[in-house]
Structure 1
Amino acid sequence: MSESSGRTRDTAEPLARGDRMTTATEVFVAHRNLLFTVAYEMLGSATDAEDVLQETWLRWAGVDLDTVREQRAFLVRITTRQALMRLRTLRRRKESYVGTWLPEPLLTAPDVAEDVELADSVSMAMLLVLETLGPTERAVFVLREVFDLDYDEIAEAVDKPPATVRQIAHRARAHVAARRPRGSVSPAEARDALDAFQRAVETGDLQRLVDILAPDVVLLGDGGGVVQAVLSPVVGAAEVASLVAGLARFGDAASLRSAQVNGHPALILRLDGEINTVLAVRIDDGLVTGLYAVRNPEKLSRVERENAVSR
């Protein structure tokens, strides 16, 4: 099925070439944040999401806009198809990844946390749940549950009949529901818990750390085989506390600041001014239940500046 199939735009006269490129650029820019978010949620990699957007733009720039009625849906469809192709390549790459693979962290604006559904959809915890879906299931879930596209639009994006898409959506929804994070906390509760956690880390106080960590807390590390990181999950408050308390040993060479990463609280560790680790934090009922320590240098460039995500 061609990407302009079934789409016509009512217009008295076709656009001139110069006007067409101006309009194409304006429309693409207007939807860019949405398209980036779609690609990122499908891939878990901002770098690859940007590559997908480049491919989307190249295809969009060659489209006859007089044949396009729903510009947003059309762009989402192109982005989804490009992301699906790249997702299959990424899966092969992850098979040889050293240690645990974690999503590439994004520094996000504080207001992202106010949109609970958006923040949940880009969280480290949710992106790891999405990793357990097949490529088409992931695309269908993201487009339906996060961006609320109708089944006919999703069917065109993934090249499946609408009835099949409904079945895929049902399976994906049940799969995610069984594995998604337990619940959500208000931004204020999250800030309070992060502040307590940060103070405990900075002082290296083991007991304070144990008190703020859930008994079944899990720490995952991602060094990508480039820098040292735990290669398998560390489980339990005492075990995680002893590891995290070690950050205090860097003394004056280290700085630890709070941030919003993937719409949720996080700590960014700098050593001698350079970003060393992004420690994303999951909080449930006032306790830290998950820690995601991204140390792979190739994944840390996106925490130097805010990234715009939207639905």
Structure 2
Amino acid sequence: FGDFFATVSNLTSTQFTAFLLMGVPGLEDFQIWLSIPFSFMYLLAVIGNSLLMAVVAWDRNLHEPMYLFLAMLALNDVLLCTVTVPKMLLIFWQGPTLSSFPAYLTQMFFVHALFLSESAILLAMAFDRYVAICTPLHYVTLLTGSLIGKLGLALVARSVIVVTPGVLLILRLHFCRSNIIRHTYCENMGIAKLACNSITLNSIYGLTAALLTTGLDFVLICLSYWLILKTVFELPSRKAQIKAFGTCGAHLCVILIFYILAFFSFFIHRFGHQVPGHALILLANLYLLLPTTMSPLVYGVKTKEIRMRVIGLCGQAK
């Protein structure tokens, strides 16, 4: 890539206007092989989530809060993996890829905004299960179609409001040190660390925003499920307890996959200074892609209504 790097370095002598995404550092010779499982996971995520959305849209009996939230989650999953994976696969297949500054900021905005909306949808689904199990008599009156629509708009607004200042803080930075980013997609601190001026404000805002959004969502989800478990264990019938656990099983699996990977990646990036760079980058890709891949599989297996509708839809197509 000698001539390529020379061209990149001559873009500007004082302020870089394009950045080179390198992929997975240390595994450049194996990236073509890495593209195979990531391609398979991406196809599985897109097909599985699209099928799930089609089932909910096709069957009017599934136009209930639980399944509408599930369709919202599926749509968010398709968008999240589509924003990151095609670019990553291009790097794996063709080598380092040049990205203009506006294109970098655009991908960064959508990556962070969709990640926040994923967390918000999981919180909304936890609230749905809380109302269904702890106050079932108020379920129909509380979770109306109007409320679900407002929640959808609210989570989009929250993502935009929280992520936009992070993007604006990147615009104040001056990039004159390097334009090489050892990553497969565009993210906030990846570019901020290349700045010649202070990034303290960027770091403080990023950490604060993460704690007040994703961190708070996780705390509220834990509180919801603590109240749910408390209610379930007070049920007099063993059969009723099993049924209540069954309605929450799929959601709990998805929550664990999403938050365990996200928090593990978050803390490793900040405190795991001895962890190899390629492990950090692979983990950063997995915590975005693996939950989107597993979500339709988990709901398809755990949720009887979804499973039966998928079988019926496939039978009709055949």
On whether the aligned pair clears a TM of 0.5, the verdict is no
Structure with the larger helix share: 2
> TM-score of the superposition, structure 2-length normalised?
0.30
> TM-score of the superposition, structure 1-length normalised?
0.30
Structure with the larger strand share: 1
Q: Which has the higher contact order (CA 8 A, sep 6+)?
A: 2
